[in-house]
Amino acid sequence: MFEKTMSIFSENVESLIQSGKPDLKKAEDGISLCIKILSKLQKQVDKDDFENTQAEIEFFKNIKPLPMSYLIYFTEVRSCELKLPKVGNSHKVRYLEKEVKKINRFFSENNSFVNYMEQNHNYLDPQFFSRSGKMDFSFSPTINYYQNPEFSTSHDMLWSKVQALYRYIHYIREKLELIQPGSSGDFRERQPNLLLWSGSKTSLVEVIYGLYLKGDINHGTADLKTLISAFEDFFNIKLDNYHKTYSEMRARKDPRSKYLHQIAAKLEAKMRQDDEK
């Protein structure tokens, strides 16, 4: 019912993020794009509703939160771009550090719900993600971005904001690095970099694209740029021009996903070896 609409949205938002436009222009265009898609989804729901409660839960847990989270993200970016001090790097860094504190406070206040979602629980889904669920939970959302009682549940907005702030964290870190290189490491606890990627960068990009397309991270809502940034942090590596790397992978002879094939072959061989013991 929603597959084509969401596929087009994902392509458009990824294209916007990679467009090279100034951040403020990206945010403004992104807000318009998200409002347009949310309006379209709402009309579809108003017209056809859902076959059953499970379909309703699927929509409010995994479909609507994608454009909703981007709307919140682009709204936060736009606000930051407009409020960020124009002069003085120290003033800019101080403002961004305050934004980080707000994010940390949000996650602390909603820790129970975040843990529920990140552990892939579903026992409260009928209450959280169906419109018949109660609206008075102790950690219910207090957000007013785009809310309509017939198009919202008690927690779909909160789940959208969680995902939005994950993206916003990366935006702030990149902003800090541009203003004052090295400052983005001041607001996050970092363990020693004990894990280093010793394979080729192309192989790592292949793994990341595979994970992105499989959709098993953040319920498929994590965008490609966020995943790239996460792996760069984890392995202390820089993956420049990953779109170009993907184009080079497409130009290979079969199997084009040769590194993933090699991983699968290694695992199969190991399991056969253990079976024979």
Length of the chain in residues, anyone? 277
pTM for the model:
0.69
Alpha-carbon torsion, ordered 217, 181, 240, 263, to 10 deg = -40
Do 49 and 166 lie in a common domain? yes
User: Would you call 64 helix, strand, or coil by DSSP?
Assistant: coil
DSSP letter (8 states) at residue 256: T
Residue 75: what pLDDT? 93
The mean pLDDT of the chain is 84
pLDDT grade for 33, boundaries at 50, 70 and 90:
very high
Q: Who has greater pLDDT, 102 or 196?
A: 102
Average pLDDT over residues 219-223: 75
Do 95 and 227 lie in a common domain? no
Do 224 and 87 lie in a common domain? no
Residue 147 has pLDDT above 60, yes or no: no
Burial class (CB in 10 A: 0-12, 13-18, 19+), 19: exposed
The string of DSSP codes covering 121-174 is: --TTHHHHSSTTS-S--TT-----SS--GGG--SSHHHHHHHHHHHHHHHHHHH
d(CA 225, CA 207): 14
The string of DSSP codes covering 189-225 is: ----------S-HHHHHHHHHHHHHHT-SGGGT--HH
DSSP letter (8 states) at residue 29: H
d(CA 141, CA 139): 7
d(CA 113, CA 43): 29
CB 46 within 8 A of CB 150: yes
CB 231 within 8 A of CB 199: no
CB 64 within 8 A of CB 41: yes
Q: Which of 140, 166, 190 is the last residue of a domain?
A: 190
Do 11 and 86 lie in a common domain? yes
d(CA 42, CA 39): 5
Helix (H) or strand (E) holding 3: helix 3-17
Which has the closest alpha carbon to 12: 74, 61, 77, 59? Answer: 74
Q: Which of 158, 190, 222 is the last residue of a domain?
A: 190
Residues 6+ apart with CB under 8 A from 137: 127, 128, 154, 155
Do 168 and 238 lie in a common domain? no
pLDDT in tens, 45-100: 888 888 899 999 999 999 999 999 999 999 999 999 999 998 888 899 899 989 98
d(CA 256, CA 268): 19
Structural domains of the chain, count: 2
Do 168 and 199 lie in a common domain? no
Q: Who has greater pLDDT, 164 or 147?
A: 164
Do 175 and 153 lie in a common domain? yes
d(CA 145, CA 35): 10
Residue 189: what pLDDT? 44
Residue 228 has pLDDT above 80, yes or no: yes
Do 133 and 254 lie in a common domain? no
Range of the domain at 3: 1-190
CB 158 within 8 A of CB 141: yes
Burial class (CB in 10 A: 0-12, 13-18, 19+), 200: exposed
Do 148 and 217 lie in a common domain? no
pLDDT grade for 188, boundaries at 50, 70 and 90:
very low
Q: Which of 142, 172, 190 is the last residue of a domain?
A: 190
Do 88 and 200 lie in a common domain? no
Do 124 and 201 lie in a common domain? no
Do 117 and 200 lie in a common domain? no
